[in-house]
Amino acid sequence: MRNAYAQPQPASASTIQSHGRFRSELDFSDTTAFSDAARGYIATIPDARIIGADGKVVWDLGRYHFLEQSDAPDTVNPSLWRQARLNMHHGLFKVVDGIYQVRGFDLANITFIEGEKGIVVIDPLTYEESARAALDLYWLHRGHRPVVAVIYSHSHRDHFGGVLGVTSVEDVAAGRVSVIAPTGFMDEVVSEMVMAGVPMRRRAAFQFGPSLMPGPMSQVDSGLGKNAGQGTYSMIPPTMLITETVEEHVIDGVKIVFQLTPGTEAPAEMNFYFPGHRALNLAENACHTMHNLCPLRGAKTRDSLAWSRYLDEALDLYGDKSDVVFAQHHWPTWGSERVVEFIRVQRDLYRFLHDQTLRLMSHGLTPREIAEQLMLPNALSRNWSARGYYGAIAHNVEAIYAHYLGPYDGNPAHLHRLPPVELGKKVVEYMGGNDAILERARADMDAGQFRWVAEVMNHVVFADPGCWAARELGANAMEQMGYQAESATWRNAYLLGALELRNGVDAAPPTGNTVSVAMMTMLPISRFLDSIAIRLDGLAIQALQGSIDWLTPDEGSCHRLVVSNGAMSHLPGSHGERADARIHVPRKQLWSLLQGEKGLYRAATEGRMKITGNVDLVIELFRHMDDFNPMFHILEP
């Protein structure tokens, strides 16, 4: 029978013992990072609390006051507790003369570069409200300087989503503000946020744990910062792309050397060197953590070899010319020798993971086998900046393996495995039924075999989702693994998994839209049409054949669509007289047409969309567009 509300359990003896190993192996007396995180502090707002125009809280570090306790509780890995406390520093900080950051107002940092007439903004955070609060804080203490340029360091939302908090579409269109990004930026934004946006959003809830209440038995950090937050986001497409490997520009009197680093932390990313400031910004390619080579939310696997090489290149080009290295997460590192050491450690970290995974792959080991035995050299494993607060060795090994060989491990028994429900039923049958499995699993739980208990209970739950004893035991096992995890993202995933097993998906409500309508209206029409294509039920429209012109009259553009064999293809241009139908949608009309479920279908049937020619063809096409539920099940059928 289902519990009314199952409560978290305390740390087990084996979890406490695991924490003891971390305390004995790491140098917790080293407080250098705490000094760096506080250096250059100017001012902040209380608890970094940011309220949106609708009165809702966008960001609030006041919920994390429990981290003021210096000693980690039994329910948090002591190394992660240390990182979580470091990520509590917030406010406006001076990096060097002319370069300032606001940290702790979002998952990422926003950077202000002072020019001759105004400021250049690097990475306007995730949400407009946070970006505006950061800009207001900067203005309050450094004087009002107009924004003359915005730079997106890479294609992840926490580095561009708040752009309308620091500038406007009108100022960019008028040329008063330039928007600069690495080549490929828009394609990668669409790839993650639109094409794979729905499953990625659901999985991101496990990575960041936004629905978990902050606390010592729950969410404490996300490794890179506190959490993902919530608010209003959009995007302004770049007006200038960096296309050369190394490219120099003078922006508002400030010389900036751009170093493209494609395929690293993001498929489209770049570092920056400021020769006049002797300052190096490594975007998100070198933070105070081992990063992900594939995040838990899912993404294209990242090239660890290229990542290491670009860091090596940055070290060679700028290392001995820099007095400070900083990034778009965490805190800077000052001093030329420390700068070189920091970059060297990060370079070696990704190179070691790459080379040793490939070495063991070549011995025939599978990802799980490699992850079980691969250990970092002492000089890396004991370096705080190489600890796995955001990434983890095991997950990074799997990413490297998949990057080269794909997800299949080479064992034909794994080629066509049973889906989870059928597999669960057969496992439960072979193991003697629920009662027999639960009896043995409880003994394994008492012995601290949490990984095994979680796996076995997963089979029982998929075979019998109403078996609440199995759900609770599986939740207890995940919870202990969460308490033990040094990786904040692994902790969040385990603890949200425990919450959903105990209380269902409704216990973790969605925290925002998959992709905002405002962002959809900013996409190139070709990419907007891609977003339509992935929503079409291919088998339902397999008999539908036709040619359609999609016209955007206020932009003077046209795309020719072909519907055939259950797929919709499109290219720029017009079918001319051969078009079966024409859809006329001004860019400014997209907003209203996309509102609500079945937005385009309703607009077509209600006559709110101008369609000429074969109207029925268009209506039938839109009728078979899916609406996605972003809260699909993961831990149960």
Q: Is residue 327 part of a domain?
A: yes
Q: Is residue 20 part of a domain?
A: no
Task: Quote the domain boundaries for residue 342.
Answer: 34-404
Domain co-membership, 247 together with 392: yes
Would you state the torsion angle of the CA atoms of residues 410, 415, 421, 427, taken in this order, to the nearest 10 degrees? -60
Domain C-terminal end among 404, 427, 445: 404
Spatial separation of the C-alpha atoms in residues 617 and 632, rounded to whole Å = 31
Token pair 């960041």 is found at 208
Q: For residues 210 and 58, is the Cβ–Cβ distance under 8 A?
A: no
Work out how many domains the chain is built from and give that number.
2
Measured CA to CA in angstroms, residue 380 lies from 61, 345, 351, 371 at distances of 31, 7, 12, 17
Q: Give the pLDDT means over successive 10-residue stretches in the chain (637 positions).
A: 69 98 97 98 98 95 97 98 98 98 98 98 98 98 98 97 97 98 94 84 93 96 94 94 98 98 97 98 98 94 97 98 98 98 98 98 97 96 98 97 95 95 97 97 98 98 97 97 98 97 77 62 88 94 97 95 98 97 92 82 93 97 91 93
Q: Is residue 578 part of a domain?
A: yes
Angle in degrees, 0-180, between the axes of helices 13-25 and 78-86, rounded to the nearest 10: 60
The model's pTM? 0.95
Taking Cα atoms as reference points, which of 121, 134, 109 lies closest to residue 252? 121
Spatial separation of the C-alpha atoms in residues 14 and 431, rounded to whole Å = 26
Q: Is residue 427 part of a domain?
A: no
Domain co-membership, 45 together with 193: yes
Q: Is residue 516 part of a domain?
A: no
Which ranges of 254-335 would DSSP assign to H, the alpha helix? 304-318
- Write out the E strands in 69-189: 91-96, 99-103, 110-114, 119-122, 147-151, 178-182
Residue type (1 letter), 434: N
pLDDT at 507: 60
Spatial separation of the C-alpha atoms in residues 487 and 500, rounded to whole Å = 20
pLDDT at 1: 47
Alpha carbon 120 to chain centroid distance?
24
DSSP output for 184-205: THHHHHHIIIIITHHHHHHHHH
Q: For residues 280 and 322, is the Cβ–Cβ distance under 8 A?
A: yes
Q: Is residue 13 part of a domain?
A: no
Each as own residue / partner, the long-range contacts of residues 191-197 (CB below 8 Å, 24 or more positions apart, any chain) are 191/267, 191/300, 192/155, 192/156, 192/157, 192/299, 193/157, 193/514, 193/515, 193/519, 194/515, 194/520, 194/523, 194/527, 194/530, 194/531, 195/530, 195/531, 195/534, 196/298, 197/514, 197/515
Domain co-membership, 400 together with 534: no
pLDDT at 521: 78
Domain C-terminal end among 363, 382, 404: 404
187: domain CATH number is 3.60.15.30
Domain C-terminal end among 361, 379, 404: 404
